[in-house]
Every structure is written in structure tokens, then in C-alpha cells.
Amino acid sequence: WQADPEIWGRHAPVLFPIVGRLKNDQYTYEGKSYTMKQHGFARNNEFELVSQAEDQLHFRLLPNDDIRKMYPFDFQMDIMYQLFQEEHEHGVKITYQIHNMGETTMPFSIGGHPGFSCPMVAGEELTYYDVVFEEKENLERHLLEGGLYNGETSPLLENEQIIPITPTLFDQDALVVHSPKSDTVSLVSRKSGHKLTVDISAFDFLGIWAKPGAPFVCIEPWLGLADYTDATGDIMEKTGVHLLLAGKRHTSSYAFKFANPS
């Protein structure tokens, strides 16, 4: 997706150290309140280029004064992008590495938010496309209210694999599911056979989103969730939060690949 600012002015933001929205855009840690906007600060900060090769880029983010006002933890965040090709497919592997450089346990979540142009080829329409899970799934959609989960769900897939893309699919915000069985989710054209596949196997949650009627679809692997409407606000108790011990590293990866019809 080419980040048309008139529609959605981002390409593939990185969600860190939260995924989604906090209740009242705030959390507490050790009795102190901190303000942080939706999806955290990583997507709005410039990363340092650590290294570059023909098929790989390595970027790093370290806390600055503005970040410390939102997140009082010492960390190093590295992102590696690796191009790959196998037979008739090509793609990108994205690896996140979070290093807790402090002396206390660090709470964090992380997630991808890549947007993909849809339709993928000229002459097609959005409604020619399906979201296809690798396996038949029984999944519920976790419903959002003002960016927070209200505890309600609705059926999404019942021993099925396919979600057709319709003009109204995202009228109630993102489709959010917990713990799908499938290792991959694909965006597939019924007309041309063009297919994009995202490997979500290392992640606990999945978001699928687009602005209603917009010519893109985001397939988002997440380690974390927005707050629930009844959240206490304590970041150490947040649903989906990961607690990284002092001096330890967390590494997770996902990949997307494109296949042209043979």
C-alpha cells in the first residue's frame, strides 16, 4: 500500500510498546500515570540504520527524552527486513528483537500492521478478494467500542476458512481474533489467482482491517491487544502484555510472500 494520505497515510507501522488503544490513553506503573496514544510510539519515531546489504536492512530504536515520558524503561528495539525468494514466490521476513537493557522487568507488546494494495492488479475489484485461513477455523470476532474491547464477541468462522471481502466488512472496525489454528492467512483474488500470504505462526492474535471501501487490506500479526473497557490501567496486568526480565531479549518474526498465478 502506497500510503495515500487522503485514505490512510501509512505503509506498515510497527506497534510498540502497545498494540491498540489504552483506556483513556493512559496506564499506570508503580503508582505513576503515563500517557500513550494508540499503538505506541515506535511508528512515529525515526529508527537508526544499523546495517544494509543487497537483501537486508537492520534498523534500531533507542529511547529519547520524549519516549521516556511515555515509557520509563531502558530498551533497544531492532527490526530486520530480509528479502527472500523460493520457486515462484518472493517476499519479506520481518524480525523484531526487543532487549530489556534496564534492571527491572519491562512490560511490552509488539505487532505488525502491514497494508497491502487490494485489488492487486488492474481490472479487478475489492469484492473479488477473500481472506483465506490455512485451516478450517472456529473463530469469534472480539468487538471494539471506541477502540477498546467491550467483552462481546460475534461468530466469524464456523469450521470455515474463507472471509469474503465486502464493502461493509470493516464497518465495525477491525476483525480481531484470538489464537487461530492456522499458521498462515492469505489474501486471494478469485479472478486472477494472485495471492499474498502472511505467516502469523509466532503471534497470539490477528487483526484484519481496512478503512471501509478503501483499496487496501491490512493483515496484522500481534503479540498484544488493546485494553478492555474494564481494564484497571496497571500495565503489568494488561491483557496480552509480555513481561521481559532485566537483561533478556525477545525475538519474534513474521513474513509475507507473493505468488503470481502460473
8 A C-beta contact, residue 235 and residue 125: no
Taking only the tens place, the pLDDT of each residue in 193-243 is 999 999 999 999 999 999 998 999 999 999 999 999 999 999 999 999 999
- Is pLDDT of 103 > 70? yes
Count other Cβ atoms within 10 Å, centred on residue 159.
7
**How would residue 142 be classed by pLDDT, with cut points 50, 70 and 90?**
very high
Predicted TM-score (pTM) of the model is: 0.94
Mean pLDDT throughout 32-55?
Answer: 97
Taking only the tens place, the pLDDT of each residue in 175-186 is 999 999 999 999
- Is pLDDT of 260 > 80? no
CA dihedral over 192, 123, 165, 255, signed as positive or negative: positive
pLDDT at 88: 78
Residue 118's SS3 state is coil
Q: How many CA atoms lie within 13 A of 172 on its CB side?
A: 14
- Rounded to an integer, what distance in angstroms lies between the CA atom of residue 70 and that of residue 257? 35
CA distances from 27 to 17, 99, 191, 205, 227 (A): 12, 22, 47, 21, 10
- Rounded to an integer, what distance in angstroms lies between the CA atom of residue 11 and that of residue 195? 19
pLDDT at 89: 81
- Rounded to an integer, what distance in angstroms lies between the CA atom of residue 184 and that of residue 134? 6
Q: Which residues contact 40 (CB under 8 A, 6 or more apart)?
A: 15, 16, 17, 18, 19, 70, 71
Q: Which residues contact 53 (CB under 8 A, 6 or more apart)?
A: none
pLDDT at 262: 62
- Is pLDDT of 18 > 90? yes
Residue 200's SS3 state is coil
- Is pLDDT of 157 > 90? yes
Q: Considering only CA atoms, which of 9, 17, 28 is closest in space to residue 236?
A: 28
- Rounded to an integer, what distance in angstroms lies between the CA atom of residue 91 and that of residue 195? 12
- Is pLDDT of 49 > 80? yes
Mean pLDDT throughout 113-124?
Answer: 94
